[in-house]
Amino acid sequence: MSKTTGSTMVEKILATHSGRERLSAGELINAKVDLALGNDITAPVAIKEFERFGLDQVFDPDKVVLVPDHFTPNKDIAAAEQVKTVRRFAEEFGIKNYFEVGRMGIEHALLPEQGLVGPGMVIIGADSHTCTYGALGAFATGVGSTDLAAAMAIGEAWFKVPQTMRFEYEGTLPEWVSGKDLIIYTIGQIGVEGARYRAMEFTGSAISNLSMDGRLTMANMAIEAGGKCGYVQPDKITFEYLKGRVKVPYTPVYSDKDAVYEKVFNYNVDSLEPQISFPPSPDNVKPVSEAAGIKLDQVVIGSCTNGRIEDLRAAAAILKNKKIHPRVRLLIIPATQLIYRQAVEEGLMSIFIDAEAAVSTPTCGPCLGGHMGILASGEVGLATTNRNFVGRMGHPESELYLCNPAVAAASAIAGQIVHPKEVVK
């Protein structure tokens, strides 16, 4: 077959994993998976389904990762029972990448940090934010528990090869503007189904200069635009991040110059303001200036979206020598144990505690309304998390706004949503 046009990174990765020379968008394939992930909510359903196969082993115990991070440390007896199911399964099937509380971090911060993710891999996770690993040039996508059960049995998953949308961000990000703002701005532009079933390729000078933490935040929220995955092609920043960390074999893959994109978007970011997602949808996005004055009861800094060290540093830079507003509760949740320790060593924890924030051990906790900071009816929250659907952080009559860590910290001090420059003068 003669080659007529080029392929995108995702088409190439899926082709090599399905034994095909090349693939086109729309084809249905079975692909080998290099890593299959579950958590304390989704793995129990997967384990129940897996047991129907009657197998005494998983396809490869080193390629299964189980992270009890959602309702842990166990919030109640039911949660404890679910984690027990996962723990026993890990023991029985020799899955050494089971991360117990104390080693546990929020899965999508933990896996890259632990060197389990590399470019060119196919990763599925029974968690929608599995798309995070696209930041490292992997094809990574969220699936359901039954998909995880099947992958644990045969090491494969079925996919429709997605069309790819290319997002070009040119220019220099202003102060206090981050990867979070780029992604929620994009979701605001295209809507929560703007990239439904699509791969989202992030590129341009603003991405070339964006840190790995910022890229992880962007790829993490591809799902909020309906995306199958979001990715950045491997570059200098990727390889610096992987150095001394990555424990798995990997092969970087790049989109061809003549790859076919369904659509190309161009954004200039030179004058982008910090962005806010208004309730009740991540695509209800306005610049922070239009959110100014919204009074807050609780602010959360953490989650798989924004609980990394760079996020904590951004918050600490604003909170230093300040106290939060007396009406506001500020919860700060480092995403992993390593990030937690780094925050201690860098003196960030003292800043948070002196500012009268509550600091928690790693957990998804309040992000999905699980525990550790649930909103009452009528309360208003601001969070660095990823979703603000009705009832997402608690009572169906609470409201949640989404933002970057600097805006969250500044707003906790002001007691209302503000631009960080209003607090740091």
Distance CA 359, CA 329 (A): 11
- Nearer residue to other proteins within complex by CB, 52 or 295: 52
- Nearer residue to other proteins within complex by CB, 302 or 370: 370
Closest distance of CB 331 from other proteins, Å: 17
Token pair belonging to 190: 């295209």
Which of 358, 388, 354 lies closest to 373 in space, CA to CA? 358
Give the helix/strand (H/E) hosting 258.
none
* Cα dihedral across residues 407, 411, 417, 423: positive or negative: negative
The CA–CA distances, whole Å, from 12 to 119, 147, 329, 361 equal 12, 22, 47, 39
- Nearer residue to other proteins within complex by CB, 78 or 264: 78
Closest distance of CB 327 from other proteins, Å: 25
Residues near other proteins, by CB under 8 A: 28, 41-42, 44-45, 48-49, 52-53, 55, 70-71, 76, 78-79, 81-82, 125-128, 130, 142-147, 149-150, 153-154, 158, 192-193, 196-197, 223, 226, 228, 281, 368-370, 387, 389-392, 396
Closest distance of CB 38 from other proteins, Å: 10
Q: Which residues lie below 8 Å from residue 424, measured CB to CB, with a gap of 6+?
A: 317, 318, 410
- Nearer residue to other proteins within complex by CB, 254 or 389: 389
Which of 127, 131, 147 lies closest to 139 in space, CA to CA? 131
- Nearer residue to other proteins within complex by CB, 368 or 424: 368
- Nearer residue to other proteins within complex by CB, 54 or 244: 54
- Nearer residue to other proteins within complex by CB, 171 or 280: 280
- Nearer residue to other proteins within complex by CB, 265 or 389: 389
The CA–CA distances, whole Å, from 191 to 9, 194, 222, 226, 285 equal 24, 5, 11, 8, 9
Closest distance of CB 196 from other proteins, Å: 6
Cβ density class 5-30: b for 16+ within 10 Å, e for less: eebbbbbbbbbbbbeeebbebeeebe
Token pair belonging to 266: 């161009």
Closest distance of CB 405 from other proteins, Å: 22
Token pair belonging to 253: 């893959």
Give the E-state strand segments of 23-163 in sequence order. Answer: 28-32, 35-39, 64-67, 122-125, 139-142, 156-160
Token pair belonging to 367: 């992000």
Count CB atoms within 10 A of the CB of residue 102: 9
Give the SS3 label for residue 288: helix
Closest distance of CB 370 from other proteins, Å: 6
Closest distance of CB 316 from other proteins, Å: 29
- Nearer residue to other proteins within complex by CB, 159 or 340: 159
Closest distance of CB 227 from other proteins, Å: 9
Closest distance of CB 25 from other proteins, Å: 14
